[in-house]
Amino acid sequence: MLFALMGLLELFFGKKFPFKFVYSDEYWMVNIGKHVFPVRKYRLIYERLIALGAKRENFLEPGPALDEDVLRVHSPRYIRRLKAGELSAGEINLLELPYSPDLVKFAWLHAGGTILAAEQALVDGLCLHIGGGFHHAFADHGEGFCVLNDVAVALEKLRHDGRIKTAMIVDCDLHQGNGTAAIFAKKEYAFTFSIHQMDCYPANKPSSTVDVGLWSGEGDDKYLAALRDHFPRLYRQFRPDMVFYLAGSDPLGGDQLGGLTTTKDGLFERDMIVLEGARCLGIPVAVVFAGGYARDIQDSVAVHLNTIKAAQKVARKWAPPPPPTSSPA
Ligand SMILES: [Zn+2]
C-alpha cells in the first residue's frame, strides 16, 4: 500500500532525483593530512543526499579512468613519472598536495567518475558527479590540488567514442580554469568559459575562449549580471553537444581561498542560469563540484546541495513526460 502511494506521488510530482549521482566512498578516504582541501565534503554531501531520500539506485560508482583515456589529454612523460612516484620536489610543491600512491588512485578515480557522469548525462540529460573539477591540471603537470584534468579527459573520451563532437566547459569555480584553458587552446570543438576572481591564484591565467574576471569584494550583483550577459546567449551561439559545469562553491563569501562575497542565494541563482539555459536548449549537462574551502565545511556542502536543488528544479521542468503506465496492480 505504502509503495503504491509512493508510486502515485512520484507520478504526480516526478522522481525526487530524476538523474543520477556519481560517487565513490574512496573519494574522502585519501589521506592528505591536515589540509585546506576538504575531501570530507564528498562524504557529507552523500550523507545529506541519503537523508533527503536518495536511494542506492540514484548512485553510480565509478572505476578508475583507463590510462588510454588519460593519455588523450596528459603527456606520457607526466603520467609515467606520476605513477612511478618520480615527480620532483618542485612539481610536488606546485601540486600543493602531499604525493602518495593513494593520491594517484584518487585522481584516476575522479577522472573515471567524470567520464561516467558525462556518459550518463547523455542518457538522462543531466548527471551530477559528487567530485571532479580539477581544472588546474595541465597536460604535462599538475598544480593547485589538481593531478589530472578530469573534465578534459572525459570530453576527449566522449569525442573519441563518437558520442559528441563539441562541448562547452562552464567553469564557475572561484579560480580561473588555467589548465583547462591551456589544454583546449586552439581546439575549436571545445568552448571554455571561466568566471573567476582576478586577484588570486592562478597568477598566470591562460586565455579561455571567454574569461570573465571579478575582483575581491565583488558579490552577487556583479557576478550574476556578468553571467546573464553570457548565458544563455553563448549556448545558442556555440550550440555544444554537451556542457560540463564546474559548480565550485568557493565564490561563497568568506571562503578561505577566495575574496568574492557571493551569497548562497546568489550561487543558487548562478546554478539556475547555467543549468536552465542549457536544458531549455536540450543540451545535456554533466556537473562536477570542483573547489570550496569555507571555514565551516557545512557552508561549502550547503552550496553544493543547492546546486543539486537547482538541478532538481530544472530537471522537473524540462524532463520529458513519463511514458504512460498501466494501472497499478
Ligand atoms: Zn577553486
Closest CA to 235 of 155, 169, 312, 290: 169
Q: Has residue 11 been placed in a domain?
A: no
Q: pLDDT at position 36, please?
A: 85
- DSSP string across 166-214: -EEEEE-SSS--HHHHHHHTT-TTEEEEEEEESSSS-SS----SEEEEE
Helix axes 101-124, 150-160, angle to 10 degrees: 50
SS3 call for 53: coil
In a domain, 1, yes or no: no
How far is ligand 1, taken at its centre, from the CA of residue 218, in Å? 16
Ligand 1 centroid, distance to 319 Cα (angstroms): 31
Within 10 angstroms of residue 186's Cβ, the number of other Cβ atoms is 5
Does residue 327 form part of some domain?
Answer: no
Evaluate whether residue 78 is within a structural domain: yes
25 torsion bin: left (phi>0), alpha (psi -120 to 50), beta (else): alpha
Range of the domain at 145: 19-318
Q: How many Å lie between the centroid of ligand 1 and the Cα of residue 57?
A: 30
CA of 147 to the centre of ligand 1 (A): 14
**Could you tell me which of 315, 316, 303, 296 has the C-alpha nearest to residue 256?**
296
Residue 281 burial class via C-beta count within 10 angstroms: exposed 0-12, middle 13-18, buried 19 and up = middle
Query: What is the reported pTM?
Result: 0.92
Which residues keep their CB under 5 angstroms from ion ligand 1? 173-175, 248, 250, 291
Give pLDDT, residue 9.
47
Distance in Å, CA 258 to ligand 1 centroid: 8
Q: How far is the CA of 15 from the centre of ligand 1 (A)?
A: 32
pLDDT string in tens for the chain (329-residue length): 555 555 444 444 457 889 999 999 998 877 878 888 888 899 999 999 999 999 989 999 999 999 999 999 999 999 999 999 999 999 999 999 899 999 999 999 999 999 999 999 999 999 999 999 999 999 999 999 999 999 999 999 999 999 999 999 999 999 999 999 999 999 999 999 999 999 999 999 999 999 999 999 999 999 999 999 999 999 999 999 999 999 999 999 999 999 999 999 999 999 999 999 999 999 999 999 999 998 999 999 999 999 999 999 998 876 655 556 655 54
Distance from Cα 5 to the centre of ligand 1, integer Å: 43
E strand or H helix that includes residue 243: strand 242-246
Report the CATH number that the domain containing residue 42 is assigned in CATH: 3.40.800.20
> Considering its fold, how many domains does the chain have in total?
1
What separation in Å is there between the alpha carbon of 145 and the centre of ligand 1? 9
Torsion, Cα of 170, 201, 109, 283 (10° steps): 0
Query: Which helix or strand (DSSP H or E) is residue 79 part of?
Result: helix 76-84
Q: Is residue 324 part of a domain?
A: no
C-alpha 150 to ligand 1 mean position (Å): 15
Q: Tell me the H-state helices in 187-296.
A: 220-230, 233-238, 264-280
Q: Is residue 141 part of a domain?
A: yes
pLDDT at 316: 83
Instruction: Give residue 63 CA to ligand 1 midpoint distance, Å.
Output: 25
Residue 37 lies in a domain: yes
pLDDT computed for residue 38 by the predictor: 83
Confirm whether 89 is domain-assigned.
Answer: yes
